[in-house]
Amino acid sequence: MYQALMESYDFLALTLANPTTINEPISFTLSNQTQVTIPDTGVIIFEPENDQGKDIVLSCAVHGNETAPIEICNEFISKILKQELRLAQRVMFLIGNPAAIHHGTRFVEENLNRLFNGEHSNSPGLVNSERIRAKNLELYVDQFFTQRNASRHRIHYDLHTAIRGSKHEKFAIYPYRSGRPYKAEQIMFLAAAGVKTILLHHEPTTTFSYFSSENYGADAFTVELGKVFPMGQNDMTRFIETKEMLQRLLTGKDLELEAYDESKVNLYQVCRVINKNYEDFEFTFSNDVENFTAFPKGYILAKEGGQAVKVETEQEAIVFPNAKVPVGQRTVMMLTTAKQLLLC
Ligand SMILES: O=C(O)CCC(=O)N[C@@H](CCC(=O)O)C(=O)O
Ligand SMILES: [Zn+2]
C-alpha cells in the first residue's frame, strides 16, 4: 500500500480501493522529515519536523457526491507527498465517506453530517456504515487535537458543495458559539479565500464542524465552495483563491489578511431551522430557486400535513432547502441579516 501511494501520489485512489478499511495502519517519514501516518482509510496525517503551532483538519466528502473539495484535498496531499509543498503546520486530511463517493451519492444509509457530537450512538441497536464512520472520525479528530498542547491553534475546515445554486457562490457556516465571540481573523481569512458570506448558526447541531468547535475550541466551519458537480466536472479555476489561502495556511506563509471590515462580508444570522414533520412535506418554490433567495413575511414556503409553513419575520432568506430528508430532519435553514457581532 505504501508503495502504491508513493508511486501514484494518489491518496484518493488508495482510499477508493479500500473504501471501508485498510489492512493495517501505515507510517513513514518523507526525506524532508515530515512524518506521514495513515491510521484508517481516508485518513492521512502529516507532521513536519518543526511546526509553527497550528493543528489543522481539512475534511471533504462528508457528503460523497460533493466532489470539488475531494479534488482540492487530494491535490494538496499529492503535493505534500511529492515534497512540492513544505508544511509548516500539522495537518490531518479526512475523506469522510469513501463508500458514498463510490455510490456517487450524498450518503449510503444515513447523512453522516447529522451523526456527530455523539449522535452516532444515540439510537442503540442502530448500526450502519455512517454511524461507524462518524464515531471513528470523531476519534481521529480527538487524537489529532489532543496529542499536542491545548494551547495550540486548532482549525477545522469541513469542505462541502451545495445541492443548488446560490446567490453567494461560496459561504461558510459558523457553528453556534454559546456566547463565545466570533473570530474576526477567521472571517477575514475565509473572505480572502473567496468565502465572503458567513452564516451564524443559532443552536448546537450534530455537524462535524460543530463537533470540533464545541469540543476542542477549534476554529471550525462548514465551508460551501459552490454547486455540486460530478467528479472531474468541476471548474477548478473557481477555487484559485481558496487553494491559495489554504496553501499559505499550511506552509506558514504570511496570510496578508485585511483588517476586519464588515463591508467586505455578508453576514447572516440563522433565525430558525424548519424540520420535516410529515412525509408529504413539499416546498412551494421550484428546485432552481437559489440559496439566499428572500421571501416576505407570511409567504407560504412549504406545505405538510395539511398545514402551511410560512415566513415568520419581516423577511427571511432560505438556504439548503431539501424536502427529500427523513421526517425529523432539517428541510431548510432560514436566515435574517446578522446584527452587530461580538468579535475578538
Ligand atoms: O445544499 C444542500 O442542501 C446541503 C449542503 C450541505 O451539505 N450542507 C451542510 C451544512 C452543515 C452545517 O449546517 O454546518 C449539511 O447539510 O450538512
Ligand atoms: Zn455537504
- Give residue ranges with CB within 6 A of ligand 1: 63, 113, 160, 162-163, 173, 205, 207, 209, 222, 320, 322
- Strand spans (E) along 194-276: 197-200, 219-227, 266-275
What local confidence, expressed as pLDDT, does residue 177 receive?
Answer: 96
What local confidence, expressed as pLDDT, does residue 1 receive?
Answer: 84
Going from the Cα of 167 to the center of ligand 1, the distance in angstroms, rounded, reads 16
pLDDT tens-digit map of 136-161 = 999 999 999 999 999 999 999 999 99
What is the residue-level pLDDT of the chain in tens, covering all 344 positions?
Answer: 889 999 999 999 999 999 999 989 999 999 999 999 999 999 999 999 999 999 999 999 999 999 999 999 999 999 999 999 999 999 999 999 999 999 999 999 999 999 999 999 999 899 999 999 999 999 999 999 999 999 999 999 999 999 999 999 999 999 999 999 999 999 999 999 999 999 999 999 999 999 999 999 999 999 999 999 999 999 999 999 999 999 999 999 999 999 999 999 999 999 999 999 999 999 999 999 999 999 999 999 999 999 999 999 999 999 999 999 999 999 999 999 998 889 99
Going from the Cα of 170 to the center of ligand 1, the distance in angstroms, rounded, reads 12
- DSSP letter for 276, please: P
What local confidence, expressed as pLDDT, does residue 299 receive?
Answer: 98
Task: Say which amino acid occupies 128.
Answer: N
Which atom in ligand 1 lies closest to the alpha carbon of residue 161? Answer: 5
Closest ligand (CA of 227): 1
What local confidence, expressed as pLDDT, does residue 156 receive?
Answer: 98
Q: Is 272 helix (H, G, I), strand (E, B) or coil?
A: strand
Q: Please tell me the pTM assigned to this model.
A: 0.98
Q: What is the mean pLDDT of the chain?
A: 97
Going from the Cα of 7 to the center of ligand 2, the distance in angstroms, rounded, reads 31
Q: Is 108 helix (H, G, I), strand (E, B) or coil?
A: coil
Q: Which of 12, 25, 118, 125 is nearest to 64 (CA)?
A: 12
Cell numbers 475531494 correspond to 70
What local confidence, expressed as pLDDT, does residue 340 receive?
Answer: 83
Catalytic residue among 110, 138, 224, 304: 224
The yes-or-no answer on residue 224 being catalytic is yes
Closest ligand (CA of 173): 1
What local confidence, expressed as pLDDT, does residue 276 receive?
Answer: 98
What local confidence, expressed as pLDDT, does residue 335 receive?
Answer: 98
Q: Give the N- to C-terminal CA distance of the chain in Å, as an integer.
A: 45
- Strand spans (E) along the chain: 26-29, 35-40, 43-47, 54-60, 90-95, 153-162, 171-174, 197-200, 219-227, 266-275, 282-283, 294-296, 300-304, 307-310, 315-319, 330-337
Question: How many residues appear in the chain?
Answer: 344
Residue 186 CB coordination number (10 Å): 18
Between CA 307 and CA 311 the distance in angstroms is 13
Cell numbers 477555487 correspond to 239
Between CA 86 and CA 118 the distance in angstroms is 35
